[in-house]
Structure formats: structure tokens, C-alpha cells
Amino acid sequence: MSPGLSASGVDVAPLAPDTLGVRGALGFATAAQALHALQDGLSAHANVTRLDLSGVTHADSAGLACLLTLLGEASAHGRELRLAQVPDGVRVLADVCGAGPLLG
């Protein structure tokens, strides 16, 4: 992953022209800072349409809320944003909450 934004153990950096990579834990301790880093990354890279979550080591409901917030903001601004390599635990949590279809 090339140099990017770091937020309390969460790194956000371009992986490809259309992809930002996320590495680290998306949990209660990091979600707010990660949300800001991801928002900044998306603002700085207008061509990004995909978040690659293959580097996420842990995620809980706060991490899910962070991802859903990003998807909602993108949609509200008419921007396409997809999630790739979503960790199984996040998918299960989203399904339990009824938000599974929002993850794509």
C-alpha cells in the first residue's frame, strides 16, 4: 500500500486509480478517526469508486456504521462507491442488522 492517511491504527491509501485500500481495525476505538480518514481519502481521490477492505483486521458494529455512513454520503452526492473484500464478520453483522444488501 502506498503512503496515505493514517488514523489511530487505520491506514487509507490508494491501491489503484479507482481503489482506496483500508488496513487495520475498524472498531469502537478507531471508527470515528477512520471515518474522517476515509472521507478525506475519498475527497482527495475523486476517481475512487471502490474501497478494498482486504486489509481490515477487525471490525465491529462501529466499523459497520462507518462503512454505511460512507456509502450513504457517496450516494447522497451521486457518487458510485462499492466495497470489495468485505470481511465475513462485517457481512454477518450487516445481515443481522438488515443492512446486508447495502454492502453490495
Give the pLDDT confidence of 34-45 residue by residue, as tens digits: 999 999 999 999
Beta strands 50-59; 82-84: pairing state: parallel
The whole-angstrom separation of Cα 52 and Cα 21 is: 5
Strands 82-84, 10-16: pairing kind: unpaired
Quick: pLDDT tens for 78-104.
999 999 999 999 999 999 999 999 998
72: CB partners within 8 A, 6+ apart: none
Which grid coordinates belong to 75?
Answer: 450516494
CATH 3.90.110.10, domain 5-103, yes or no: no
For the chain, domain boundaries: 5-103
Element (H, E) at 88: helix 88-97
pLDDT in tens, 47-59: 999 999 999 999 9
Q: Under the phi-then-psi rule, with left for phi > 0, alpha for psi from -120 to 50, and beta for the rest, what region is 98?
A: left
Q: Cα 77 to the chain's mean position, in Å?
A: 17
